[in-house]
Structure 1
Amino acid sequence: MSLVEISQHDEVIYSILDKPPPEPPKTPRYESKLERELKERKIPQLRLTFGYAETPLKTPDKFLRKGEGIGQPRKKSDHKCVVSSNLPPVPERPPPGKKPEKPKINFKVVNIKKAIKTKGKPVEPRLVDTRDGHIKKIKGSGEVPEYCLRPDFGKMPAYLVKRNRRIQRELEKIKHAEENRESLCKQVSEEERQKLLEDLKHNWQLMQKAFLQLPMLTDTIPKILKKTKMEQELRQLEKDIALIESNPFIYIYD
């Protein structure tokens, strides 16, 4: 058995393997000629930023002066002041005159006269009910009758008098309306009575003719019900005709 010692060699395994086929070249990307012209003609602009990190302060000599602030805009008006030479003259100032003298009043005399004519305050009646001098007003204490001496004692209150008068007027209106109310009963004239009687007889004839045309054999329920109904209507017409013929005077209520 022999050993082969290889200390130096430049053999690479990747060179032995087959290499993949090369990728086909890509087609050139479409580029508009107009876009290229616009880029060439574009004016360079300053880049916009978020502003200063800290707002720089103005120098002391650049303070806000009068008339430099933001004021309210003046409203424009279409009014034009027309100045003509035919204006009236300015009225002259009246000449200074003496002020009217105020009458001199002696307030002392006036106060003395008022004090003489003023009546004294009436003394309120009081009651001393203890030896220590406890004072109690008589008015409202119940010691002297007051309520029974009032001018309106035992009289009906004014609101009850007004209510009774209003109720009396309503009752009189109702009584007057009942007395002058027209009668609801009305007498039927002879012409209307004869016309009503003729109409009832005509209806009876039509009903009698329809009844006679019914089949003789009533073997079904509808036939029986129809015949029974027509018999009831004929009886009712006969009753109405007999009632009108037996009563020459007929009254009706509206």
Structure 2
Amino acid sequence: MSIVKIVHHDEVIYTILDKPPPEPPKTPRYESQLEKQLKEMKIPQLRRTFGYAETPLKVPDQFLKKGEGLGQPMKKSDHKCIASGSLPPVPKCPPPGKKPEKPKTNFRVLNIKKVIKTKPLLVEPRLVDTRDGHTKKIKGSGEVPEFCLRKDFGQMPEYLVKRNRRIQKELDKIRYAEENKESLCKLINEEERLELLKDLKYNWQLLQKAFLQLPILTDTIPKIHRKTKMEQELKQLEKDIALVESNPYIYIYE
């Protein structure tokens, strides 16, 4: 067994291993040109703060003057009224004249006339029901018969009278309709009977033609149903034709 001792060498372990592949370059971030224009056009606004750390003092000549207190100061206007031409004269006050005399009224006489014409208040009848003098009004107490003395006592109320009238009108309408009721049975004339017979025969011819055009072989259920249905319709039409031909007088119900 032989041992090889290498003392001097220039190998490095980091150069032996393969280096990882370099990362691909990132795509540049999208920047809108409009955003740059907006930032350039944007007007800087004042920032709101909590105020000054120390309140700045005013200039000495800006002291509080008369009329500049808490009240609203008067707005100064630069408007000047320029008169063009001659203005009309200022109207003068009318000369002082005598005041119109007020009519002299005798209020004593008026009050006496009003008192004479006024009617005295009617005394409300009362009832004393105890020895201590307890009183109560007779009206509404039930001591005097009031309800039986009314004009409408014992008469039917107005709402019941109107209701009975409405019911009676409806009954009269029903009775009149029943008396003048037309008969639902109507006799058709000969022309209408012949026209009906003609239409029935025409329908039978159309149905007979369609029945003859059916396939001879009925191997499916829909074909069987269709053929059976057409046979029933033909039989019914034949019965109707025979009934109209055998009966000269035919009545119909509307």
Report the TM-score range of the alignment, normalised by the length of the smaller protein.
0.5 to 0.7
Please say which structure displays the higher CA radius of gyration: 1
Separation (CA, whole Å) in 2 of partners of 1:54 and 1:146: 92
Contact kept? 2:185, 2:251, Cα under 8 Å: no
Cα deviation code 1:143-189 (max 9, x no counterpart)? 11111112222233334444445555566667777888887766655
| Cα gap change, 1:227 to 1:54, in 2 (>3 Å) | same
User: What is aligned with 1:23?
Assistant: none
Q: Which amino acid aligns with 1:146?
A: E
User: What is aligned with 1:244?
Assistant: 244
| Cα gap change, 1:96 to 1:173, in 2 (>3 Å) | farther
| Cα gap change, 1:173 to 1:56, in 2 (>3 Å) | farther
Separation (CA, whole Å) in 2 of partners of 1:123 and 1:223: 106
Separation (CA, whole Å) in 1 of partners of 2:148 and 2:201: 85
Contact kept? 1:204, 1:234, Cα under 8 Å: yes
| Cα gap change, 1:102 to 1:199, in 2 (>3 Å) | same
User: What is aligned with 2:207?
Assistant: 207
RMSD: 4.7
Under a length normalisation based on structure 2, what TM-score does the superposition of the two structures give?
Answer: 0.54
User: What is aligned with 1:136?
Assistant: 136
In the alignment, does 2:61 pair up with 1:61? yes
What stretches of structure 1 of length at least 5 have no aligned partner? Answer: 1-47
- The 3-state SS of whatever aligns with 1:127 is strand
Separation (CA, whole Å) in 2 of partners of 1:73 and 1:179: 98
Q: Which amino acid aligns with 1:129?
A: D
Separation (CA, whole Å) in 1 of partners of 2:164 and 2:88: 74
Distance apart, 1:241 and its partner CA: 1.0
Q: Which amino acid aligns with 1:54?
A: E
Distance apart, 1:123 and its partner CA: 2.3
Separation (CA, whole Å) in 2 of partners of 1:59 and 1:177: 108
Contact kept? 2:187, 2:249, Cα under 8 Å: no
| Cα gap change, 1:92 to 1:233, in 2 (>3 Å) | same
Separation (CA, whole Å) in 2 of partners of 1:175 and 1:138: 54
Separation (CA, whole Å) in 2 of partners of 1:116 and 1:89: 61
User: What is aligned with 1:196?
Assistant: 196
User: What is aligned with 1:106?
Assistant: 106
Q: Which amino acid aligns with 1:251?
A: I
Percent of aligned positions with the same letter in both sequences? 71
Q: Which amino acid aligns with 2:242?
A: A
* Segment of structure 1 superposing worse, 144-153 or 182-191: 182-191
Contact kept? 1:188, 1:252, Cα under 8 Å: no
| Cα gap change, 1:233 to 1:118, in 2 (>3 Å) | closer
Cα deviation code 1:8-58 (max 9, x no counterpart)? xxxxxxxxxxxxxxxxxxxxxxxxxxxxxxxxxxxxxxxx99895323021
Equivalences for 1:74-85 in 2 at 5 Å? Answer: none
What stretches of structure 2 of length at least 5 have no aligned partner? Answer: 1-45
Cα deviation code 1:98-153 (max 9, x no counterpart)? 22211222222322333333333222222223333232322222111111112222
Equivalences for 1:224-239 in 2 at 5 Å? Answer: 224-239=224-239
Cα deviation code 1:199-228 (max 9, x no counterpart)? 321332343455456677766655543442
